[in-house]
Amino acid sequence: MARRVCLLPKSPFTAPNKSQNIISVPLSFSLCTDAAAGQTHQPQIEDQTENHNPTSLTNLQDQQRHEQVRKLRVLLQQGRSETARRLIKSLILPNSPFSSPTDLYTLFSLSAPSMKPTFSDMLLAALSESKMPKEAVELYGLMRKTGTRPCLASLNAMLESLVTSKQFGKTLELFSEIFESGQGIRPDRFTYGKAVQAAVKMGDLERAGQLVNSMKMKRMSLERMKDENVAANIVTYNTMLSGLCRATRMDDAKKILEELEAHGFAPDGFTYSILFDGQFKCGDSEGSLVLFEEATRKGVKLNRYTWSVLLNGLCKQGNIEKLEEVLKKLMETGFVPDVVIYNTIVNSYCRRCDMNRAILAVEQMEIHGLRPNCITFNTLIDKFCETRDMNTAEEWVKKMAEKGVCPNLETYNTLINGYGQMRVFDKCFQILEEMENKGIKPNVVSYGSLINGLCKDGRLLEAEIALRDMISRGISPNAQIYNILIGGSCTVGNLKDAFRFFDEMASTGITPTLITYNSLIHGLCKKGRVMEAEDYFSQITSSGYSPDVITYNSLISDKLFSEMLQMGLVPDRAVYNALIHGYAEQGDTQKALSLYSEMVNQKINVDKMTYNSLILGHFKQGKISEVKGLVDDMKAQGLAPKADTYNLLVKGHCELKDFSGAYFWYREMFENGFLLNVSTCNELTDGLEKEGRLREAGIVCSEMSVKGMNDCSSIEDVVSVAKLYISAGISLKKKCWQAGGSKKLFIVLRTGRELSMRISFDPHIFLQTKRCRLRLATYA
């Protein structure tokens, strides 16, 4: 009997008959019986088993496949559909005896042709539900070849699987193939919804619009849709709105909204979430507030997600006063903010550097029974690190642990970045060790912050040690890491290491970016190797990038300078100043200082512009401590700083959040009879106020108010100066002045109003502060 089993053909169903449909189970039992009964056959069977005879194993697999098909057939005959579905799902798994789902389909079709339509629908649905879209599409192709037409439900499941796996092109291709080629299958609203969603996700809004129009043309009228219980068709409209809003086509989105309502559908919370987000993408927070009022008036029930979109948008646009106003209205209706919304509020205050109110918001969370989470604490810690207040940042890390919230990877990365910017590298390494001890694995961001700080400080050797440590821990560096190392090497003039990192980058399969090429070109130009730099310039375009202003600046300035020297032309002060300023703008202080030294050696008198450029370059690199030395050197050369230098000093410190340093230079500036320009003054006063230094801010406002309105040259200056007058408590009644030489502005100041800050540069401009309202109206 054992020999008879071995001689059975691999595919017994090739010539189907009744006896072949049930051979598998009896044969397997006969094999066991004969093996147990006959001693003469036993050695042969054991020998076959031990040698894993391929023919025997193949036959055993065939038996298993036929047995599973028999079970499926029996289940379907008995009407046990759910059990059959579960069995089908188990048979499409990798450890199945079937080589593929199409293998299962083929065998079942030959075994039970009459049940093929039911089985094929079940199999197609199972593949779609199991997130196997590729196999589902293959099966659908085989079904078409064999003349089997799937039901609409199975096709919808397949389209949904394709959309979920982001195969939007394939979704539209199949939609056209199935429903637009006259196969007789009629799509429903779900089918169209998936096609519209795929078109929108691909950014093909024209195709999405055509699909919506097609629904109308195919008599999917409102009455029929309602008859078919199509309340969910709002999803199709929402999908269209989502695509239009992402493309910031708000006028078209409003037309769709009108059409939606004209067809009797009511916009829901998700509809307004999409519209809110679209308005914020266009920078129109006022438009979002108008929509909010509209939704409230219509009685639309907005959910927490909708509220979070609105509040988060107001937060990102810095409209904290409106955020508080909306939140107050919500709470009056019984709405209780959750942790997500409180985190949005905390983030809003942190964006404005109003840390006192941010901390107060955290306390209010706890009063309302909500527990601050990692996001809450990380938001505060990140802001303290940004303002270089590392002591307070560390205090909040301790508070975080005390509240039972464990610091996570983001927390530690924020601290490493903060200490790296302050060049406290010992602390960075301590944090990395602490992370390891606590079982938190550093990532590319952790090392990136450390390497970036080391490179900016010129400590290239330690930066490479950090890189090697990173790789040894199994963390793969990315293009940004290599760009930092290449840029750092070029800055210190070490082109050998720069190209070594470049080669290493290429060997690990990382594609160079425009930043990579710009760094190499800049480094080569600094060394006078302009021809080589031009070779890398050509590589930029061949790699699919477009050169930017940094690329051209490096090439042009160095090439012209080299050509001048080759032609025997001696660069004068104007040429040196132009080059120094160009390098300063790029933050390349080393090259700028090198050219400055050449000027001095060649006895070319440096001037105020030379020093201003050097000061700018040092601010660009965050080298605050060296700026005062430059100013002292400037004074020693008999060049007294004037308004432009002082403005540069104050602005540079403000941009680095060093408002104490900014105020120091402001004092010297004012005592020497100079005044800040309006924008820099606003930066300084805002920064001082955010740090709680109201006295200094008030002094600046009072002293600057003497600037007078006649010095303004634009509407922005007018508004800024008006703010200074208000902050200084100066009472204005009516005043006219010339702005930009073309329009006159009329101011009326009304005091005693408690309003929030809002500035809009329209023909009618309103400026509101907490103390007053200032109305500016233009007239010819």
Q: What is the pLDDT of residue 285?
A: 76
Rounded distance, CA 253 to CA 238, Å?
10
Q: What is the pLDDT of residue 227?
A: 45
Please indicate whether residue 408 or residue 767 has the higher confidence score (pLDDT): 408
Statement: residue 506 has pLDDT above 50? yes
Statement: residue 341 has pLDDT above 90? no
Mean local confidence (pLDDT), 41-60: 49
Under the banding of pLDDT at 50, 70 and 90, the label for residue 515 is very high
Q: What's phi and psi for 241, nearest 5 deg?
A: -60, -40
Rounded distance, CA 535 to CA 428, Å?
39
Phi-psi label, residue 147: left if phi above 0, alpha if psi -120 to 50, beta otherwise? left
Q: What is the pLDDT of residue 718?
A: 44
pLDDT tens for each residue of 416-467: 999 998 889 999 999 999 998 999 999 999 999 999 999 988 899 999 999 9
Cα distances (angstroms) measured from residue 366 to each of 361, 374, 382, 403, 404: 9, 14, 21, 11, 13
- Report the DSSP beta bridge partners of residue 772: 751
Statement: residue 710 has pLDDT above 50? no
| Contacts with 721 (C-beta within 8 Å, 6 or more apart), sequence order | 678, 707, 709, 711, 712
Mean local confidence (pLDDT), 705-724: 45
Mean local confidence (pLDDT), 92-108: 80
Q: What percent of the chain has pLDDT over 70?
A: 75
Mean local confidence (pLDDT), 313-333: 78
In the numeric block, which tokens belong to residue 276? Answer: 């809110």
For the range 713-716, what are the long-range contacts, defined as Cβ-Cβ under 8 Å and sequence gap of 24 or more? Answer: 713/739, 713/740, 714/739, 714/740, 715/739, 715/740, 715/745, 715/761, 715/765, 715/776, 716/678, 716/679, 716/761
Q: What is the pLDDT of residue 776?
A: 37
Statement: residue 727 has pLDDT above 60? no
User: Do 96 and 90 touch, CB atoms closer than 8 A?
Assistant: yes
DSSP per residue, 22-50: G-HHHHHHHHHHHHHH-TTTHHHHHHHHH
Please indicate whether residue 523 or residue 150 has the higher confidence score (pLDDT): 523
Q: What is the pLDDT of residue 542?
A: 80
pLDDT tens for each residue of 536-560: 888 887 888 887 767 766 666 666 5
Rounded distance, CA 340 to CA 404, Å?
18
Please indicate whether residue 22 or residue 147 has the higher confidence score (pLDDT): 147
Please indicate whether residue 210 or residue 493 has the higher confidence score (pLDDT): 493
Core vs surface per residue 675-712: b (16+ CB within 10 A) or e: bbbbebbbbbbbbbbbbebeebbbbbbebbbebebeeb
| pTM strictly above 0.75 | no
Query: Over the chain, what is the mean pLDDT?
Result: 74
CA dihedral 345, 346, 352, 357 (to 10 degrees): 100
Q: What is the pLDDT of residue 516?
A: 93
Mean local confidence (pLDDT), 34-43: 40
Least confident of 227-231, 247-251, 671-675: 227-231
SS3 at position 656: coil
Rounded distance, CA 263 to CA 170, Å?
31
pLDDT tens for each residue of 259-269: 777 777 778 77
Q: What is the pLDDT of residue 622?
A: 81
Element housing 776 (H / E):
strand 772-779
Q: What is the pLDDT of residue 502?
A: 94
pLDDT tens for each residue of 139-181: 877 887 877 777 788 788 888 888 888 888 787 777 777 766 5
Rounded distance, CA 581 to CA 557, Å?
11
Give the torsion sign (CA, 654, 691, 678, 719): positive
Q: What is the pLDDT of residue 657?
A: 86
Neighbours of 453 (CB within 10 A): 26
Under the banding of pLDDT at 50, 70 and 90, the label for residue 83 is confident
Rounded distance, CA 86 to CA 167, Å?
27
Top mean pLDDT of 81-90, 279-288, 494-503, 703-712 is at 494-503
SS3 at position 339: helix
Q: What is the pLDDT of residue 251?
A: 79
Cα 330 versus chain centre, distance: 29
Under the banding of pLDDT at 50, 70 and 90, the label for residue 629 is confident
